[in-house]
């Protein structure tokens, strides 16, 4: 990519939007309104916006149910029986996996538990899980409860990695060293793809290359990574990954999550697993036998027939991503858009605003996490005032404002006006 020469003028931002090859995608989303104007929506990392075509996708399944009842499982343009398979190819492409390695099912924390049932198999000698000191709370609780479930002590079995003193971000070398230091006691490594608080994009491949030869399984939580940064899960050789679809995947609140299990584990009946009928070999599932015959793909981990209305919203969203084409195009815009945001903050607000997200574009997605120094207002007051002006960010204790310009629907003008308003406030 060429080095961009940025300018702090509305004309420049407007011109960037005019020459942006993805600018038209904004019009495919409903942008929430505030005082008759579009909000500046930088919280797509929390809940992505609704594609305008999503109601049609969901309504067509309600229609199919209304008209066909139970026959909808086999009839209509998108029969429900194989419905999750309509999502497999675009989803697998986006995470860099084979089709056999990806399935949409359950929700994120549920899938973390199902994956740990299979890949956390502690013994007295080897029962530790490596995770971050400040993991997303749900991940922390899931790990803690798994350790207790197996009869071990969280205080001893949770190996927590933190940034070095005075630093905000994790250091890959430190993680790798920690894996090596605990090679005989580690039973699992569970880390995020993109850290939710700082926006750091971890070097997943380097972590997998350290753990895998030592026989330590690696699981990655992609909640903030999927749809945000390029991923190559198959090639990186990690064992499993889980993600949600309501953040950068724009599939609606609480929508069904995604799960990856590397093909090296498919068909291995020595791996323990919590099972349900939807994981049974499709060819004979309806013979209703008591003998579980697992699918030979990641689908062996499915439990239930999935909620079709949610899958319909995911299918709509994935169709939007498909129409962008190569994910790299989205990434290029994202690097430029967040680069502009970073440049404006540094040029206009360097004294009051610090960016804790890594400055190297390969180590972050679209989000910048900001700490704000002010004389008479607190960070949380600034955040509230921004919101009153229709500028949506989120506040994370103790003192961070997270702002995520999403390349599918945010514009260079959004970034320009956001920084202009923030400067006025400060």
Ligand X SMILES: *Cc1c(COP(=O)(O)O)cnc(C)c1O
Residue numbers of the site for ligand X (CB under 6 A)?
107-109, 136, 138-139, 192, 196, 221, 223-224, 244
Would you say 106 or 297 has its CB closer to ligand X? 106
Tokens at 289, concatenated: 């036998």
Nearer to ligand X, 194 or 211 (CB): 194
Cα–Cα distance between 66 and 1 in angstroms, integer? 51
Task: Rank residues 168 and 221 by Cβ distance to ligand X and give the closer one.
Answer: 221
- Rounded least distance, CB 386 to ligand X, Å: 22
Distance of closest approach, residue 131 Cβ to ligand X, in angstroms: 11
143 or 298: CB nearest ligand X: 143
The vertex-226 CA angle with 131 and 391, nearest 5°, equals 100
Taking the complex as a whole, the smallest distance from the CB of residue 342 to ligand X amounts, in Å, to 22
**3-state percent helix, strand, coil for the chain, nearest multiple of 5:** 45, 15, 40
Least spacing, CB of residue 14 vs ligand X, in Å:
34
DSSP class of 27: G
* Beta pairing partners, 131: 160
Residue 83 or residue 136: which is nearer to ligand X going by CB?
Answer: 136
89 contact partners, CB below 8 Å, separation of at least 6? 99
What is the smallest separation between the CB atom of 254 and ligand X, expressed in angstroms? Answer: 7
For the bound state, the minimum distance from the C-beta of residue 223 to ligand X, rounded and expressed in Å, comes to 3
Q: What's the CA gap between 282 and 259, in Å, rounded?
A: 19
CB of 308 to ligand X, least distance (A): 19
CA gap 25, 254 in Å, rounded: 24
Q: How far is the CB of 196 from ligand X (least distance, A)?
A: 4
Q: Using the minimum distance from each CB to ligand X, give the nearer residue, 50 or 245.
A: 245
26-37 in b/e form (b: 16+ CB < 10 A) is bebbebeebeee
Residue 421 — φ and ψ, nearest 5°?
-70, -40
Residue whose CB is less far from ligand X, 136 or 418 = 136
Each as own residue / partner, the long-range contacts of residues 160-166 (CB below 8 Å, 24 or more positions apart, any chain) are 160/131, 160/132, 160/133, 161/130, 161/131, 161/132, 161/133, 162/132, 162/133, 162/134
Tell me whether residue 101 or residue 221 sits nearer to ligand X (CB atom): 221
Angle between helices 108-119 and 137-149 (to 10 degrees): 40
First-last CA distance in the chain: 34
Q: How many CB atoms lie within 10 A of CB 425?
A: 16
For 264-312, give the DSSP string: GGTT-TTS-----GGGB-TTTGGG--SS--B-SSGGGG--S---HHHHH
Q: Which is nearer to ligand X, 28 or 393 (CB)?
A: 393
Q: Burial level of 73, CB count in 10 A (0-12/13-18/19+)?
A: middle
Q: Nearest approach, Cβ of 27 to ligand X (angstroms)? A: 27
Output 51 or 192, the one with its CB closest to ligand X: 192
CB of 112 to ligand X, least distance (A): 8
Q: Give the whole-angstrom CA distance, residue 357 versus residue 133.
A: 17
């Amino acid at each position: 990519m060429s080095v961009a020469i940025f300018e702090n003028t509305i004309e420049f931002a407007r011109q960037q939007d005019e020459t942006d090859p993805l600018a038209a995608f904004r019009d495919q989303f409903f942008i929430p309104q505030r005082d008759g104007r579009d909000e500046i929506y930088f919280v797509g990392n929390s809940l992505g916006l609704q594609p305008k075509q999503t109601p049609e996708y969901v309504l067509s399944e309600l229609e199919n149910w209304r008209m066909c009842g139970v026959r909808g499982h086999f009839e209509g343009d998108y029969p429900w029986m194989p419905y999750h398979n309509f999502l497999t190819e675009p989803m697998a492409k986006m995470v860099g996996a084979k089709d056999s390695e990806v399935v949409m099912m359950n929700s994120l924390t549920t899938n973390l538990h199902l994956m740990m049932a299979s890949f956390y198999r502690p013994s007295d000698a080897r029962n530790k899980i490596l995770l971050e000191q400040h993991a997303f709370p749900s991940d922390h609780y899931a790990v803690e409860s798994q350790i207790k479930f197996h009869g071990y002590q969280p205080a001893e079995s949770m190996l927590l990695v933190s940034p070095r003193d005075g630093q905000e971000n994790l250091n890959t070398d430190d993680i790798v060293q920690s894996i090596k230091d605990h090679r005989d006691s580690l039973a699992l490594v569970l880390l995020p793809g993109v850290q939710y608080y700082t926006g750091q994009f971890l070097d997943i491949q380097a972590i997998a290359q350290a753990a895998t030869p030592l026989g330590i399984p690696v699981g990655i939580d992609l909640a903030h990574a999927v749809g945000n940064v390029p991923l190559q899960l198959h090639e990186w050789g990690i064992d499993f990954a889980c993600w949600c679809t309501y953040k950068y995947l724009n599939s609606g609140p609480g929508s069904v999550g995604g799960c990856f299990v590397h093909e090296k584990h498919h068909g291995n009946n020595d791996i323990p697993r919590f099972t349900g009928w939807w994981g049974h070999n499709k060819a004979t599932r309806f013979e209703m036998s008591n003998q579980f015959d697992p699918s030979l793909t990641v689908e062996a981990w499915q439990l239930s027939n999935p909620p079709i209305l949610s899958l319909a919203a995911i299918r709509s969203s994935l169709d939007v991503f498909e129409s962008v084409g190569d994910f790299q195009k989205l990434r290029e815009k994202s690097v430029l858009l967040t680069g502009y945001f970073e440049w404006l903050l540094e040029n206009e607000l360097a004294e009051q605003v610090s960016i804790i997200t890594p400055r190297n574009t390969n180590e972050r997605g679209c989000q910048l996490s900001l700490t704000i120094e002010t004389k008479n207002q607190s960070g949380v007051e600034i955040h509230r005032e921004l919101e009153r002006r229709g500028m949506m960010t989120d506040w994370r204790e103790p003192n961070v404002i997270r702002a995520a310009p999403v390349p599918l629907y945010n514009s260079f003008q959004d970034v320009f006006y956001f920084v202009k308003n923030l400067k006025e406030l400060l």
